Amino acid sequence: MISRLPLDQQLESLRAVLSRNGMLMEVLARAVTLDLPGWYVTAGCLFQTVWNVVTDSPPTNGIKDYDVFYFDAGDLSWEAEDAVIKAGREIFADLPVEVEIRNEARVHLWYEDKFGVACPPYDCTEAAIDSFAATTCCLGVRVEADGQWRVYAPHGLSDVFNLVVRPNPVLAPRVVYETKAARWREQWPELTVLDWPSTSVTSESSGD
């Protein structure tokens, strides 16, 4: 089992699995050219690629978009973020997928209106990834200018490879977790979805 391999071999396996998604590789390669501070490709396009490969499905099966997070606290205006989004739209224009770019330094400005709970300001992109509704979602990958991969996986990779969806009750409300988990299980019935803890403080983000 991949989850029982030494960590360095798990990372090699992750790269090998993700590399089977040609669309993901193209998004990663083009994202480098935006030169965004602290950027990662993250969320569903990563762990769902793994689920597809593990279940012998096409690597892009069920992936609805490709998320690119970055962190720029120097200008929290919508105009600054929108300029980056528009630049990305040009770079990814010919790809037949949606690439969603977001400045995680601005999330606290709109999160409560969307999800009904307050989100403290993040201090880095990694903090935003930490707050996804499921720990399985907490995964980020980027390619450095020298071609080296950087992987952020605060909860490890075992659940991702073992098709386990585990709640992360740090920010997102329970309903966000349960709604996403139900949708995922329709697409990947092999998943094991763990219950939301009965006693926890709900409050953080979501991963696609």
Domain ranges (residues) in the chain:
2-193
Residues 36-57 have pLDDT tens digits of 999 999 999 999 999 999 999 9
For 42, the 3-state DSSP assignment is strand
The rounded percent of the chain whose pLDDT value lies above 70 is: 91
Q: Global pTM?
A: 0.89
Lowest mean pLDDT among 9-18, 51-60, 120-129, 132-141: 9-18
pLDDT at 5: 62
What band does 208 get if pLDDT is binned at 50, 70 and 90? low
CB 98 within 8 A of CB 78: no
DSSP state of 99: E
What band does 4 get if pLDDT is binned at 50, 70 and 90? low
With a cut of 70, say whether residue 206 has pLDDT above it: no
What band does 116 get if pLDDT is binned at 50, 70 and 90? confident
Q: Bigger pLDDT: 176 or 2? A: 176
CB 51 within 8 A of CB 208: no
Computed on alpha carbons and rounded to an integer, the radius of gyration of the chain in Å comes to 16
Q: Which helix (H) or strand (E) holds 28?
A: helix 22-34
Gap between the Cα atoms of 205 and 73, Å rounded? 19
